[in-house]
Amino acid sequence: MLTPDQAQERAQDIVRRARAAGADAADAVFAANASSDVSVRLGQLEDVGRSEGEDLGLRVFVGQRSASVSTSDLSVAAMESLVERAVAMAREAPEDRWAGLAPQERLLHGAPPLLDLADHTIATPEELRTAARLAEEAARAVPGVTNSEGGGASTSSSVWALATSHGFAGAYATTGFSVSASVVAGEGSGMQRDYAFHAARHRAHLDPPEAIGRQAGERAVARLSPGRAPSGAMPVVFDPRVGSSLLGHLTSAIAGAAITRRTSFLLDSLGTRVFAPGIAIEDDPHRPRGLRSRPFDGEGLPVSPLSLVSDGMLETWLLDSASARQLGLEPTGHAARGIAGAPGVSTGNLYMAAGKVPVETLIGDITQGIYITELIGQGVNPVTGDYSRGAAGFLIERGAITRPVAEFTIAGNLKAMFATLVPANDLTFRYGINVPTLRIEGMTVAGG
């Protein structure tokens, strides 16, 4: 795999070629990745995979017209053809008054922050197989587990580079390690499955495979013999591993494209109270070894920690340069660039700050409610905020989590859900998006 310096030179080279071919401006991304994964099932090796790839994407501007092309053929002839095709396409494209490179004066200059995103430790296929086997063995050892969908382990490394024709060039490397297990408990029509996994930038920070497997087994067994959920309006409590999806709905609603197209249920909410007082939602792209950390955004702008919600107030949109121009605002450093196409937006390590009460207190006064551990389907209307999803979890009775329930639906509207949301104090940083246990009042539950 190329080094970051070599990847950066690849991106700079194609930008120079584009300018020489007649483009008024251009930017390019280069991505290289390699990954290995091993899976076992019922103690036997099931699959070993290895993938490697290099891809390059080029965006060119001719006046206010632009075009994007991409390729995995990095030969000299392919590069020349790519540039010619991109410039020809741009000359025929419709004009877009908002498109263009990021403001030159806003570009990141100097050394990017050191985020420790790459681990030079090597995980061999034998070590991956051992980790996958230990995870599955621990899961199958939990009493009540009757079958396995397998244990897995993987390692990956990547290099990402960006260059623009107006003065930015940068690159960085990342690595990733993961272990997972998925098992089945029970027999016949009463079978239930669940899973556990952990991913980290550095191998040494992975949870032990035995702990991951044991958690998968315990989760599956806990779901056995589910009953029917009651129907009606009641408090709903989201486990952290599913509660993070609520922040995904928030970021989609405040993304620049949704605002410029006027397709967001939070369209007129900037500077207003969207959550209850005291709620804080932070984006931290500088977290060392963070799963979604990055030293610069997809347009070459610096990134920094930012409060999306402070004391319940919505503080910002998420803007790339095009949406910022359209709104008459400044880009926020959230541009995200794939190999093909124009930038979109994404957050870094997003999280909701911990609340002040333990989980036991959060649910202690609930006479009847639901604790959600699984969400099914995508029934969310981004324009109105209407929310309806299938779910599974556990009944809350007289302040305690009791028996499992399944095959029910929870519904509400995201505006009302955000307004009544209460976080517990159990925030841990385990994923790219993290939340504590969350309680929402008055959701409609439709039992099976």
DSSP 204: G
pTM of the model: 0.94
Amino acid, res. 280: A
d(CA 324, CA 332): 8
pLDDT of residue 220: 97
Name the stretches of the chain with pLDDT < 50. Answer: none
pLDDT of residue 341: 86
Structure tokens at 292: 């979604």
Q: How far is CA 338 from CA 18, 31, 69, 333, 431, in A?
A: 19, 9, 11, 15, 21
pLDDT of residue 278: 96
φ and ψ at residue 302, rounded to 5 degrees: -65, 150
Residues 4-221, CATH architecture: 2-Layer Sandwich (3.30)
pLDDT of residue 411: 97
Helices (H) and strands (E) counted in the chain, each on its own, are 9, 19
Where exactly does CATH 3.30.2290.10 map onto the chain? Answer: 4-221
pLDDT of residue 447: 86
pLDDT of residue 190: 87
d(CA 382, CA 404): 30
pLDDT of residue 448: 66
Structure tokens at 419: 């307004």
pLDDT of residue 358: 97
pLDDT of residue 207: 97
Which is nearest to 10 in space by CA: 48, 60, 54?
54
- Do 59 and 68 form a contact (C-beta atoms < 8 A)? yes
Q: Which residue is listed with tokens 């922050």? A: 113
pLDDT of residue 148: 97
Q: How far is CA 99 from CA 277, 323, 325, in A?
A: 38, 9, 8
Exposure pattern of 55-67 as b/e (b: 16+ CB <10 Å)?
A: bbbbbbbbeebbb
DSSP 255: B
pLDDT of residue 423: 98
